[in-house]
Amino acid sequence: MGYTPLVLNRTREDGVSETVSYSVPAIHCARCAMSIREEVSEVEGVEDVDVDLASKVVTIMGLELDDAELRAAIVEAGYEAA
C-alpha cells in the first residue's frame, strides 16, 4: 500500500545539518505522520522530522544521515521504500 519515497533534496555543508526530503504519497492522516515520525526519529543522527500531510513530503534534518537507514525506518512505519 505504500509508495517508494524519493529523495527530493539533499544538502550538506561542513558543520551544518543535512536536510533530506522524501515524497511519500500514501500518507494521509495524523496517525501516518506520527508513525513515520516515531520510526525515523530512532535513526542515528536524526535531529528533527517534519511530515507535511498536504504535500505528502517527509523532511528529515540531522548529521551524517544514512539514506538506507532512513528508508528502512519509513518501511518499518508501514510505507514502501526503494
11-15, 20-24, 25-29: range with lowest mean pLDDT: 11-15
pTM: 0.80
Residue 61 lies in a domain: yes
pLDDT higher than threshold 90 for residue 70: yes
CB 20 within 8 A of CB 7: yes
In a domain? residue 53 = yes
For residue 17, is it within any domain?
Answer: yes
Residue 70 covered by a domain: yes
CATH of the domain at 69: 3.30.70.100
Q: Is residue 82 part of a domain?
A: no
Each residue's pLDDT tens digit, 42-56: 999 999 999 999 999
In a domain, residue 81? The reply is no
Dist. CA 5–CA 15, nearest whole Å: 27
Q: In terms of Cα–Cα distance, which of 41, 64, 62, 51 is closest to 5?
A: 51
- Residue 1 within any structural domain of the chain: no
Could you list the residue range(s) of the whole structural domain that residue 65 is in? 7-76
**How many domains is the chain built from?**
1
Q: In angstroms, rounded to a whole number, what is the distance separating the alpha carbons of residues 2 and 11?
A: 26
Residue 77 has pLDDT above 60, yes or no: yes
Edge to edge, the sheet with strand 18-23 lists 7-11, 18-23, 57-62, 46-52
